[in-house]
Amino acid sequence: MQNIDLKISKIILCVLCVLCVLCGEILLSGCKEENKYTAVNIGDYAPDFILTDLNNKNIALSGYKGKKVILNFWATWCPPCVKEMPLLQEINTSHLSPSSKVGEEGGVEVIGVNYNEDYDRVKKFISEHGITFTILIDSELKASMSYGVIGLPVTFFIDRDGRIREKFKGELNRKLLEDILNRF
């Protein structure tokens, strides 16, 4: 009798294991869709997007063609993002090179793309930190996915022709930014 109970227990255990594997396959099958995060490489054309700014205005990256752009993906909850914001603000207002001020030949436009945060939270953060460069909200993460952003911060340096010339993952510092801008 004990032998039969042991066999039945083993059969039940095997059936449960098979069911678990099948359930796992079914649940994970939704994850097998094509990777939405497409990394872009240096030399590629910057993927265009249209996102909303903090004034509820739709802004297209293609509207900046003919200008150099620093495109920074960030979030308020990301300490390195918060730490590099004053440097990006400085670039926006005065640029590190006197011959390359914003709006002049050789100038740089800074655009911050917020990584899916609440509009009011972002607006409060921007106000408290005195940020004046363009901030866009990527509420559906479409821009982030098209640039392959899976960690923050990530910064892309886009030339006047719309090509990515530099890409940096992590916190920017003054020396690094100066080096990139000198090559940019």
3-state secondary structure the chain: CHHHHHHHHHHHHHHHHHHHHHHHHHHHHHHHCCCCCCCCCCCCECCCCEEEECCCCEEEHHHHCCCEEEEEEECCCCHHHHHHHHHHHHHHHCCCCCCCCCCCCCCEEEEEEECCCCHHHHHHHHHHHCCCCEEEECCCCHHHHHCCCCCCCEEEEECCCCEEEEEEECCCCHHHHHHHHHHC
Residue 121's Cβ-side half-sphere holds a number of Cα atoms within 13 Å equal to 10
What pTM did the predictor assign?
A: 0.76
- pLDDT score recorded for residue 8: 78
- pLDDT score recorded for residue 74: 98
Instruction: Please name the residues in contact with 32: beta carbons below 8 A apart, sequence gap of 6 or more.
Output: none
Q: How far is CA 95 from the centre of its chain?
A: 23
Instruction: Please name the residues in contact with 28: beta carbons below 8 A apart, sequence gap of 6 or more.
Output: none
- pLDDT score recorded for residue 169: 96
Token digits of residue 109: 């436009």
What is the mean pLDDT, run by run of 10 residues, along the chain of 184 residues?
69 64 47 56 97 97 94 98 96 60 65 97 97 96 96 97 96 93 86
Distance CA 99, CA 114 (A): 29
Instruction: Please name the residues in contact with 167: beta carbons below 8 A apart, sequence gap of 6 or more.
Output: 40, 41, 42, 154, 155, 156, 157
- pLDDT score recorded for residue 93: 85
Token digits of residue 59: 């802004």
- pLDDT score recorded for residue 30: 40
- pLDDT score recorded for residue 36: 55
Token digits of residue 37: 């995060």
- pLDDT score recorded for residue 16: 62
- pLDDT score recorded for residue 11: 75
- pLDDT score recorded for residue 176: 93
- pLDDT score recorded for residue 107: 79
- pLDDT score recorded for residue 54: 96
